[in-house]
Structure 1
Amino acid sequence: MDRDQLVASSISIISLNQHPRGGYVASPLFAPYTYSWLRDGTFIAYAMDQVGETDSAEQFYRWIHYALKDKRSIVDDLIGKHERKEWIDRSEFMGTRYHLDGRDDRSEWGHFQLDGYGAWLWGIVEHIRATGNYAILEELRESVEITVDYLMIFWHYPNFDCWEEFPEFVHPATLACVYGGLKALGELENRAVLLEKAEQIRQFIMDHAIKDGRFVKSIQCVNENWQPALPGVDASLLWLAVPFGVCVPTDPIMQQTVSEIERELKQGGIQRYEADVYYGGGEWLLLTAWYGWFKAEAGDQDEARRCLTWIISKADALGRLPEQVGDVVRNPAAREEWIAKWGEPALPLLWSQAMFLVLSNKLK
C-alpha cells in the first residue's frame, strides 16, 4: 500500500467509525476501546481538519459539547470542595472517555484524567483557525467555560497520565495539554487570566519537571516539595514541543529529552517508556508519527520521512493501522499475557490513522 492509498483509507476508516452524534470510536474491533476519548478524539479531529474533512471535526466538537454541557453543577461542587480543602475522591471528577453518543461511561476505568480537557480546548481553537468559523465557539460556550473553570483549579492535581496509569503523580505531558488549551483560547479571545495561568503552568514545568538537563516522565509533591517521581522519559514528552509549545523543538532541554527518547525508546518505531508492559511494550505507531512530526519541525526531514515509511509498512491490506506492533517488545512474556486476556492489540486504532495523516500532511 502506498502513501496516497493509506491517506485515503485512513480518512475512510475515521469517517466510517464516527457516530452520527460525533464521537470517534477509539477502535471499533477492540472491546475495551469502543468508547470515545476527549484526547484521542481531539487529535483525530485535528487530523481531519488537516486533510480538509472539517465537517467531521466540527461534529466531534459538538459531541464534546453534548457530553459536557450539563456538568456545571459537578464542576462547581468540585471547586467548592477544593476551596473548603475537603477530600475529593478520584471517582468524583469528570470522565476521560464517554459513550459514542455522549453518555457518561460508568465502567471502572482510570477516569480522572486532565489531558483530554486541555487538548480539546486547543483543538477547537485549531479548528476555528483552520475554518474561520468563530461562531462555533459561542455555540459551544457552555462546555468551553465548564472546561476552563475545571482546568484553572485542578491543573496541578495528581491524575492518570495519557496511558491511564500512575494516578498518584503529575505528568508534564498532561500539563502540556492543559497549557496548550488555556494558552490557545487565551490568545484567541485575548483573555489575560488564561494566559497568566498558562504561563504559571509552563513555569511550573520548567521549575519542577527537569532533571539532568531533560524533562522527566512524572513528578510528585513530597513534604511540600516537588520532585521527580518517574525520572525516566516517556515518548509523550514530545507533546511539550509539538503541538503545545511549552518549548520549541530546538530548545536544549527538549533536545536532550528527545536524545534520551531515541536512546531508550527508539527501535524502528517509538515505544512508550522503559518499564512499559502493556502488550509487552511494543512500538506505537502514533508515537512514531509524533516523533516524525517533531523531527520535521526540528528540520530533520529525512528522519521524518523514515518514520512515515515505517508507519506505512505496518498497514494491512485494508489500510488499517494498529495501536502497536510486536516486532521489538520490552517484555515478551507480558505481551503474551495481554493477548491471552484481550486478544491482539487494537486494529484499527483511529488515533494511529490520524497521526499518520498529520505526519503525512506535514511532509507534503
Structure 2
Amino acid sequence: MNLEKAIEVLDQMRLPNGAYIASPSKDYSYVWIRDVFYSTLPFLYTPSERFEKAYHAIFDLFKRYEWKIDIHTKNKPKFLYEYIHSRYSMDLEELNVEWGHAQNDAIGAFLWGVGEGVRHGQKVIRDKDDLRIIQKLIKYLECLEYWQTEDNGMWEENMEVHASSVGACVAGLNAVKMLVEVNPKLISKGEETLRLLLPRESVTKDTDLALLSLIFPYRIIDRPTALMIIENVVNDLERSNGCIRYQHDQYYNEGSEAEWCFGFPWLGLCFMELGMFHKVQEYRLKTERIISENWEIPELYIGGTNVPNGNTPLAWAVSLSYLFLKQIRNKDLIKNTSSYAANEE
C-alpha cells in the first residue's frame, strides 16, 4: 500500500494559509479547529512545515477574534455565536449561520497540539503574541468553567457535560503549563469531573467514539479506565465499515447508525498505546480494507447501506489511517509509543 498517496490527498485539502478544510465536499469545505488538529497529527512527531503553518494559521485566527476572547475571559457566553467559533471560511472568517459552537474540546485540542508541538521541536510559537493568545485561551476555559459546563461536544450536537470535552481541556492545560501560567486547580477540577463521569461520555451516553481521544492522542487516563472505554467501543459501536459514534445516532441514519471510517485506525492507535499488538494487527487489516487505492477515505458509510456519504475524502479519516499504518511500519516507534508501559494483553 502506497502510504505517501495519503499525504498527496491531505495536501489537496491544505489551504495556502496553512489550515486544512475538512473535505472538498460542498458541505465540508470549511476550516474546523478540531479537524485541523486531527489532520496534522501525522506531522507532529518531527518538525514539519505542514504542522507549524497550520498552527500559525489558527493563532492568527484567534488574534483576529481576540476581542471576542477578551470579552469571554470575563463574561461567560450566553448564546452559541458568542463562543469561539468552531468552524470558519477558507479565509478563516466567522460564518454568519447558526452552529453548535460550544466546543470546548476544540480549544483543548489546540492547546495540546501547541504544547506537544513545542515538545517535539515544532516552531509553533513565533513570538510573545502567540503566548498571549495561549494565556487568554486558558482564561476563556476558566471563565466557561469547562469542568462543569455543558457544551456541544466533538459531534456538535446536544448540550451536556462531555467527558471527551473535559478530557481534551485537561490534556491541553497540562500540555501548555510549562509555556504559560496555568493554575493547577484548573486541571484538578477537570480531573475530578473525569473521575466521576468515566467511563461514560455523558449522562445520556454510556459510551461514545469521542472517548477514544482520552487514550489517543491525549493519554490522560489510567490503563483500567482505558481498557473499559475501548471494550465498550468495540462491543457497542464497532460495525463492518468502521464505528458508529454512539447508539441511536441520527446523522445519516437510514435504518441504522452511520459507520464512521476513522473508527478502525483510531481503535488501532489506541490498542498501540495499550501495548496490545495482536489487536493492532487486527485493526491494521480492518483499516486497510476501508482504504481505496486513491486513499480517498469517506467520512462514513450511510447507516443501513454500503454507500459512502459525499464527504469524501475526509481529511481526519485519511490522517488517522495514514498515521496508524505509518507507525506500524516503524517498529521502533511501535515499541516506544505506548505510555501505558504494559505487556501485551
Give TM-score scaled by structure 1 length. 0.82
Q: Aligned residue for 1:255?
A: 227
Q: Aligned residue for 2:117?
A: 127
Between 138-147 and 11-20, the greater mean CA deviation after superposition: 138-147
Instruction: Give the distance between the partners of 1:244 and 1:197, measured in 2 at CA.
Output: 17
String of CA shifts for 1:283-319, please: whole Å, max 9, x gaps.
2222221111111111211222222222222223322
Q: 1:270 aligns with which of 243, 251, 256?
A: 243
Deviation at 1:79, TM superposition (A): 3.8
Q: Aligned residue for 1:181?
A: 172
Q: Aligned residue for 1:233?
A: 207
Change (3 A) 1:362 1:68: same
Q: Which runs of 5+ in 1 are unaligned?
A: 219-228
Check conservation: 2:115, 2:176, Cα contact below 8 A.
yes
Deviation at 1:91, TM superposition (A): 2.2
Q: Aligned residue for 1:225?
A: none
Deviation at 1:53, TM superposition (A): 7.0
Q: Aligned residue for 2:131?
A: 141
Check conservation: 1:23, 1:101, Cα contact below 8 A.
no
Residue 35 of structure 2 is aligned to residue 40 of structure 1: yes
Deviation at 1:358, TM superposition (A): 2.1
Deviation at 1:153, TM superposition (A): 1.8
Q: Aligned residue for 1:98?
A: 88
Change (3 A) 1:231 1:44: closer
Residue 59 of structure 2 is aligned to residue 65 of structure 1: yes
One-letter code aligned to 2:131:
R
Change (3 A) 1:137 1:324: farther
One-letter code aligned to 2:156:
E
Between 113-122 and 269-278, the greater mean CA deviation after superposition: 269-278
Residue 11 of structure 2 is aligned to residue 9 of structure 1: no
Q: Aligned residue for 2:220?
A: 246
From the two aligned structures, give the one with the greater helix fraction: 1
Change (3 A) 1:202 1:359: same
Change (3 A) 1:158 1:134: closer
Give TM-score scaled by structure 2 length. 0.86
Aligned length: 323
SS in 2 for 1:80: coil
Deviation at 1:139, TM superposition (A): 5.4
Check conservation: 2:134, 2:180, Cα contact below 8 A.
no
Instruction: Give the distance between the partners of 1:157 and 1:105, measured in 2 at CA.
Output: 24
Written as runs of structure 1 = structure 2, the 5 A alignment for 1:142-161 is 142-154=132-144, 155=146, 156-161=148-153
Instruction: Give the distance between the partners of 1:111 and 1:192, measured in 2 at CA.
Output: 24
Q: 1:23 aligns with which of 10, 19, 25?
A: 19
Instruction: Give the distance between the partners of 1:132 and 1:98, measured in 2 at CA.
Output: 25
Residue 300 of structure 2 is aligned to residue 324 of structure 1: yes
Instruction: Give the distance between the partners of 1:197 and 1:245, measured in 2 at CA.
Output: 18
Check conservation: 1:67, 1:104, Cα contact below 8 A.
no
SS in 2 for 1:22: coil
One-letter code aligned to 2:66:
R
Residue 143 of structure 2 is aligned to residue 170 of structure 1: no
Deviation at 1:141, TM superposition (A): 2.2
One-letter code aligned to 1:25:
I
One-letter code aligned to 1:296:
M
Check conservation: 2:167, 2:220, Cα contact below 8 A.
yes
The percent of aligned pairs where both chains have the same amino acid is 21
Deviation at 1:31, TM superposition (A): 1.4
Deviation at 1:196, TM superposition (A): 3.2
Deviation at 1:217, TM superposition (A): 2.1
Q: Which runs of 5+ in 2 are unaligned?
A: 331-345
Between 61-70 and 307-316, the greater mean CA deviation after superposition: 307-316
Check conservation: 1:43, 1:354, Cα contact below 8 A.
yes
Please, what is the CA RMSD of the aligned residues?
2.3
Change (3 A) 1:53 1:80: closer
Residue 268 of structure 2 is aligned to residue 292 of structure 1: yes
Residue 318 of structure 2 is aligned to residue 353 of structure 1: yes
